[in-house]
Amino acid sequence: MTTLEESTVLDTRVLEMNMGPQHPSTHGVLRVKLKLDGERVVDAECIIGYLHRGIEKISENRSYIECVPYYDRTDYIAAVSNVYGFLLGVEKMMGIEVPERGRYIRIMMVEFNRIASHLLWLATHAIDIGAMTVFLYCFREREEILKLFEALFGARLTTHAFRVGGLWKDLPPGFEQEARKFLDEFPARVDEYEQLLTENRIWLARTKDIGVISGEEAIEWGLTGPPLRGSGVDYDLRKAQPYGGYEDFDFDIPLGENGDTYDRYVARIEEMRQSRRIIQQVLERLPDGPVRGKAPKIVKPAAGEYYSGIESPRGELGYYIVSDGSAQPFRVKIRPPTFIGLQALRRLVRGHLMADVVAIIGTLDIVLGEVDR
Amino acid sequence: MSEEDKTQPPESEGEAVEKSGTRGEPQASESKGSEEKKEPAQAVPPTAAKEKPVKPPVRRAKKKAPTYEDLVDDPLLKNLQQKFSEGILSGQSFLDQATYTVSLEVLHDVLLDLRDGTEAQYDYLVDLTALDYLGDEKRFCMVYHLYSHSQKNLIRLRCAVADGESVPSVTDVWKTADWMEREVYDLFGIDFSDHPDLKRILLPDDWHGHPLRKDYDIKLQDQVWIKEHLQIRKTPE
């Protein structure tokens, strides 16, 4: 027992602590400078840029077609979406029509990518919080999707999925059966994750009321994707500004209410089910025909500018393409959802315990390749 | 040859020709050769290849290159012009995306008004970036993309900025502008006044130069920084 006099002379400084850049739960090379008052976080500052490769600068020095594989390497977890967003912009500027079969296959692959990305998120988010089993289960399912990628694109991660005007080639034989098989099994698998987590007391204690943000504030911070929808804002570019043929399909946008880590978890889980719904509709309606439209050999959009935004698994991914009429883009500005969303980390962790920082970083679903570009 | 090259008809020629304004000239429809050959050919004066027959531009006719069109009867433009008169320089649309050009003096007020004042309520700053038009009198151009959740509408604002001029920060309007402005500062070297914490974000703090400027060569590196921090004694010139 200390006397009152003794305790008043104890020094209670705010402790500054580094988390990362080599820390497994920061999902890459993120460094967070935490200011701690005991176990409580007073302030947090993100230091990024360790993975900056200057992809926007490289884009200005390559032709439009040569740019495409670089965007695989921004958000390497959702490489298919990245390429898709850029190509939609270029095709719009050039007035290139993608045949229906090509459009549908693109949507199918982008949705497969969304599932794969959310599975990776769930796996790492769960293991960060301490649920080991889910990690193994999620990677099992993700592997099936990567096999499909390999069959169609020839690569698992940096897929260079699409080409100007459509796809490189049509679906390989047996692809549809494999995809259907996966879709048939998948709902039971998602139920399995939910059994492990959704009503798990430890999971609830670690995620409920952690990192709460209101809808209005989320908009002000520029959050998009599941972090925004977890706060109840109905904004999904697939519905708000339909692109590439999404208006043909039925799906719901899952919304949260409280804007906490748990709601964002529920939103992403439900999104996986909705993505499956979209893919099923694609497979049912998949028309015959070419997968690639008429596209010129050299891509030279007329001088002008276009902002092409899509809903990537992480939120609004935008490509602002400025053309000066030459074969190389004058400027390609990538609007990465997690670069902008990561700013909100400072706001979200304030007042929480040190251990919750890990949960909040996980719930933002950052990919440092995209943050740093 | 990559797969891009295999199947396509030489439609690109039409594109190239249209832009350089030499539409319908013989060299436009003549060759299926490589693009490298074509580029210098355009510089040749029209008289040089006169004797070849001019093919009618059949394929070109159906595909019209998009152009900037002035906005007509645009309520937002009228509204802004009423409030800021000379500050609003133009309102155009390109591929159905509206672009409003404003002057630097009113930039901050316009953005604040777009968020709070108009009916549309552009409450979401989608993106903020800059362009470098090297050689222009006002070298840089700030570009803002705004979205209105209530109207489901995206607009773009452009504002020319001279080298050395500082742009009013919009971090007081949208918190999300913080890192976006830091990125522009880092990569373009544009200064923002009243930014709470303006420092480099992607590059190291003591890096010299701003890579997204057009006069910054792609192979250029900060040799001093590299020697000091990466312990590389000899770096290529």
Burial of residue A324 (CB within 10 Å: 0-12, 13-18, 19+) is middle
| Cα→Cα distances B7→A95, A168, A170, A298, B41, Å | 18, 11, 15, 12, 24
Minimal Cα distance from A237: which residue of B? B152
Q: What is the pLDDT of residue B42?
A: 46
Q: Give the pLDDT of residue A2.
A: 52
Residues in contact with B144: Cβ distance below 8 Å, sequence separation at least 6, in sequence order: B111, B125, B127, B128, B156, B157, B158, B159, B170
Verify whether the Cβ–Cβ distance B202 to A49 is below 8 Å.
Answer: yes
How far is the first Cα of chain A from the last one, in angstroms, to the nearest whole number?
54
Please write the tens of the pLDDT for every residue from B128-179: 999 988 888 888 999 999 998 888 888 999 999 988 888 999 998 888 899 9
Distance CA B217, CA A22 (A): 32
pLDDT at A5: 60
Find the helix or strand (DSSP H, E) in which A114 lies: helix A100-129
Residue listed under structure tokens 């940096």: A158
pLDDT of residue B236: 61
pLDDT band at A3 (very low <50, low <70, confident <90, very high): low
Contact residues, chain A, for B187 at CB < 8 Å = 56
User: Residue A23 has what DSSP assignment?
Assistant: B
Show the CA angle centred on residue A206, arms to residues A202 and A212, nearest 5°: 150
Tokens describing residue A196 = 């492990």
B positions 40-69 inside 8 Å of A (CB): 63-68
CA gap A273, A203 in Å, rounded? 21
Higher pLDDT among residues A161 and A8, named by residue: A161
What is the 8-class DSSP label of residue B22? -
Q: Identify the band that residue A4 occupies on the pLDDT scale cut at 50, 70 and 90.
A: low
Report the alpha-carbon distance of residue A352 to residue A314 in Å, rounded.
24
**Longest alpha-carbon distance in chain A:** 85
- HEC per residue, A121-185: HHHHHHHHHCCHHHHHHHHHHHHHHHHHHHHHHCCCCCCCCEECCEECCCCCCCHHHHHHHHHHH
Q: What does the alpha-carbon distance between residue A165 and residue B10 come to, in Å, rounded to a whole number?
A: 15
Query: Looking at CA atoms only, how far is residue B229 from chain A in angstroms?
Result: 13
A-chain CB neighbours of B180 within 8 Å are 340
Average pLDDT rounded to a whole number, residues A148-162: 88
CB-CB under 8 Å, A307 with B15: no
pLDDT per residue as tens digits for the range A299-346:
888 888 899 999 999 989 999 999 988 888 999 999 999 999 898 898
How far does Cα B59 stand from its chain's mean position?
A: 29
**Banded model confidence at residue B1, pLDDT cuts 50, 70, 90:** very low
Nearest to B97 by CA among B71, B125, B131: B71
Look up tokens 């439009």; give the residue: A64
Shortest CA gap B142–chain A (Å) = 12
Asked if B10 and A322 come within 8 Å (Cβ–Cβ), the reply is no
Q: Does residue B233 carry a pLDDT above 80?
A: no
DSSP string computed for B76-111: HHHHHHHHHGGGEEEEEEETTEEEEEE-TTTHHHHH
| CA–CA min distance B56, chain A (Å) | 19
Q: Do B12 and A92 touch (CB under 8 A)?
A: no
CA–CA separation, A306 and A295 (whole Å): 19
A6-45 burial code (b ≥16 CB/10 A, e <16)? eeeeeeeeeeeeebbbebebbbbbbbbebebeeeebeebe
Nearest residue to A274 (alpha-carbon basis) of A228, A320, A323, A239: A239
Q: What is the pLDDT at residue A20?
A: 75
Q: Is B55 exposed, middle or buried (0-12, 13-18, 19+ CB in 10 A)?
A: exposed
Of A206, A194, A224, nearest in space to A315 by CA? A224
B145 to A292: CB separation less than 8 angstroms, yes or no = no
Kindly report which listed range (A197-211, A301-315, B55-69, B123-137) carries the lowest average pLDDT score: B55-69
3-state secondary structure of B139: coil
* Whole-angstrom Cα Rg for chain A: 22
Provide the β-strand partners of residue B130. Answer: B142
Q: Is A285 in a helix, a strand, or coil? A: helix
Q: What is the pLDDT of residue A187?
A: 92
Residue A21 preceded by cis peptide, ω within 30: yes
Which residue has 């649920």 as its token pair? A131
The ipTM estimated for the assembled molecules is 0.84
Average pLDDT rounded to a whole number, residues A160-178: 88
In this prediction, residues B125-129 reach a mean pLDDT of 90
* Cα separation, B173 vs B115, whole angstroms: 8
Task: Write out chain A residues lying below 8 Å of B203, CB-based.
Answer: 49, 52
**Tokens coding A183:** 């879709």
Contact A219 B12 (CB under 8 A): no
Q: What is the pLDDT of residues A290-302, one digit of tens each?
A: 888 888 888 888 8
* Angle, alpha carbons B33-B38-B39 (nearest 5°): 150
CA–CA separation, A365 vs A129, rounded Å?
Answer: 14
* Residue of B6, B12, B128 to mutate for A, most A C-beta atoms under 10 A: B12
**Residue B63 CA to chain centroid, in angstroms?**
24
DSSP class of A353: B
b/e code A265-287 from CB counts within 10 Å (16+ = b): bbbbbbbbbbbbbbbbbbeeeee
pTM: 0.80
Q: Is the pLDDT of residue B36 over 70?
A: no
- Segment 179-218 of chain B within 8 Å of chain A by CB: 179-180, 187, 200-204, 211-212, 216, 218
Round to whole Å and give the CA distance between B159 and A320.
Answer: 16
Worst-scoring range by mean pLDDT, A85-94, B70-79, B199-208?
Answer: B70-79
